[in-house]
């Protein structure tokens, strides 16, 4: 049974920024039928927001619409061979809990994505990635329901148009409630430890035949050392995407800043860490009362408690403006502004 429809519910504990805002209507769905049953009750002109872990949103005011909290659970093996396993996971499952489950089973593939806040259903929306891995590498398909019609649809990997922090669900397929995500994980294959800091962490161990658990522990310790824990300081991880620029723009910047960090990107472009650009502009560690820029990672904006979404939004606008003046680069937000 769906929880009953509630009104004027505080969303403070449903967004990792810890912003105070109210939902006009709020309900939790525990099964797909709950969702199908509620759809006819939502007037067609009303706004709907699907809430997973609330870890990639910035609420800039009360939400005058319907907030549907995703509580769909369940982890089921669909098929299995000696070398791999295909598993379907309810979209409301906490992402890190799912990663921990795969480690208990000894499956390879998600260890680099440990400790990412949010839910399984939100993960493909922005093709979550960290430490050299992205969800698209182990993704098989997802299922969901169109919110206005109740029609179900399955999207295979090719149809999801995954890119850097991008998918079709962020662009054209909107108002679609992802209900289940299916992954293919390996029982044997190699680990992805190429990302500089992971290797450094692993080298501290007294042995060399590393397990997915070792890589996960390394990732957890790196993340804990750099990223603020949303339980302690409100934040939504990276607030901006890392921008890509053309080779000529990059060469120009390199003459001005010979040490500029950079990585190769698609189509001969160059990716520049937004954190570096923001730090160069002097923002890192700046605090403005209740909010600011994290002291250890300039890409993360933080709410020390009591900040409003609009204050953080304004700060992000000022950062975008200053980076533009400094380097001629227009930063894009990664977080969804609501």
Burial pattern 265-296, b for ≥16 Cβ within 10 A else e, equals: beeeebbbbbbbbbbbbebbebeeeebbbbee
- Closest CB to ligand EPU among 30 and 279? 279
Residue nearest to ligand EPU (CB): 237
DSSP one-letter code for 131:
T
- Closest CB to ligand EPU among 33 and 332? 332
> Closest approach of Cβ 209 to ligand EPU, in Å?
24
Give the CA dihedral 99, 105, 110, 115, nearest 10 degrees: 30
Name the residues that contact ligand EPU, by CB under 6 A: 130-131, 226-227, 237-238, 241-242, 261, 273, 275-276, 279, 284, 297-299, 334
CA dist 150 and 176 (Å) reads 9
- Closest CB to ligand EPU among 180 and 241? 241
> Closest approach of Cβ 260 to ligand EPU, in Å?
9
CB 183 within 8 A of CB 143: no
| C-alpha separations of 264 from 291, 311, 327 in Å | 33, 34, 18
CA dist 284 and 13 (Å) reads 27
- Closest CB to ligand EPU among 9 and 298? 298
> Closest approach of Cβ 145 to ligand EPU, in Å?
27
Residues serving a catalytic function are: 165, 238, 334
> Closest approach of Cβ 242 to ligand EPU, in Å?
5
């Amino acid at each position: 049974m769906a929880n009953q429809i509630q009104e004027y519910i505080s969303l403070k504990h449903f967004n990792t920024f810890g912003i105070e805002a109210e939902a006009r209507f709020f309900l939790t769905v525990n099964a797909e039928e709950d969702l199908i049953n509620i759809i006819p009750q939502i007037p067609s002109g009303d706004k709907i927001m699907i809430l997973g872990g609330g870890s990639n949103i910035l609420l800039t005011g009360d939400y005058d619409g319907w907030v549907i909290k995703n509580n769909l659970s369940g982890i089921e093996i669909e098929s299995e061979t000696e070398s791999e396993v295909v598993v379907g996971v309810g979209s409301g499952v906490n992402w890190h809990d799912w990663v921990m489950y795969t480690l208990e089973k000894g499956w390879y593939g998600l260890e680099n994505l440990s400790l990412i806040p949010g839910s399984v259903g939100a993960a493909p929306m922005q093709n979550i990635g960290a430490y050299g891995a992205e969800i698209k590498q182990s993704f098989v398909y997802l299922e969901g329901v169109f919110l206005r019609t109740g029609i179900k649809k399955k999207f295979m990997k090719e149809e999801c148009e995954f890119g850097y922090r991008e998918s079709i669900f962020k662009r054209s397929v909107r108002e679609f409630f992802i209900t289940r995500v299916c992954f293919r994980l390996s029982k044997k294959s190699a680990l992805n430890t190429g990302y500089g800091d992971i290797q450094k962490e692993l080298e501290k161990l007294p042995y060399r035949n590393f397990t997915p658990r070792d890589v996960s522990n390394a990732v957890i310790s790196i993340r804990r050392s750099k990223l603020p824990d949303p339980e302690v300081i409100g934040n939504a991880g990276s607030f901006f995407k890392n921008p890509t620029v053309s080779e000529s723009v990059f060469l120009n910047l390199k003459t001005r800043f010979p040490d500029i960090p950079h990585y190769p990107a698609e189509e001969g472009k160059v990716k520049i860490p937004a954190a570096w650009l923001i730090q160069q502009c002097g923002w890192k560690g700046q605090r403005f009362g209740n909010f600011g820029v994290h002291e250890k990672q300039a890409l993360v904006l933080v709410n020390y408690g009591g900040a409003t979404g609009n204050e953080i939004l304004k700060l992000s606008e000022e950062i975008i403006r200053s980076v533009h003046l400094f380097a001629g680069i227009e930063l894009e937000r990664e977080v969804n502004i609501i």
